[in-house]
Amino acid sequence: MIRRALVSLLAALAVLPVALPAHANEFSELRGQLSAARESLVTMLTNKDKRGADQQKLVKDTADAVSAKLAKMKAPAGKEAQFKELNETWAAFKKTREVDLVPAILAGREDEARKLAGGIQRERITRCQELVSELGG
């Protein structure tokens, strides 16, 4: 009985080093996707010639990729609160991006768009990146 428990414990411990890097790798990938989403929007904001259908699709696709990745991920043990905050912060960021920021850019409301991008949106994406770091990325 003790031997079986010891074997089970050793087997569980042997898997741990594999599981931790896999979790970290997921969050590293997410970090890259967050950066790509931000970069695609900054490109649209700062380059008037980058506001066509292709860039609009890229802005949407990069944000959707982050959402899809987050939907497949789970919180690391003991970090459920940070993971929940990450999901909530990303959802708010994405909604503002789609409902307010992109339409302002496309309508040529530069001051409004820059204020949003440099204000609450910057705070949100920064917080997302901080949370990804805390979660292992």
Distance, CA of 127 to CA of 85 (rounded, Å): 9
Locate the domains of the chain by residue range: 23-135
- Name residue 63's amino acid: A
pLDDT at 6: 40
Cβ–Cβ < 8 Å for 128, 84: no
Distance, CA of 113 to CA of 133 (rounded, Å): 28
Class (C level, CATH) for 23-135: mainly alpha
Distance, CA of 117 to CA of 115 (rounded, Å): 6
Cβ–Cβ < 8 Å for 30, 73: yes
Q: What is the pTM of this model?
A: 0.82
pLDDT at 17: 45
Mean pLDDT, each 10-residue run in order, the chain (137 residues): 49 44 79 97 96 98 98 95 98 98 97 97 97 92
pLDDT at 95: 98
pLDDT at 137: 76
pLDDT at 13: 44
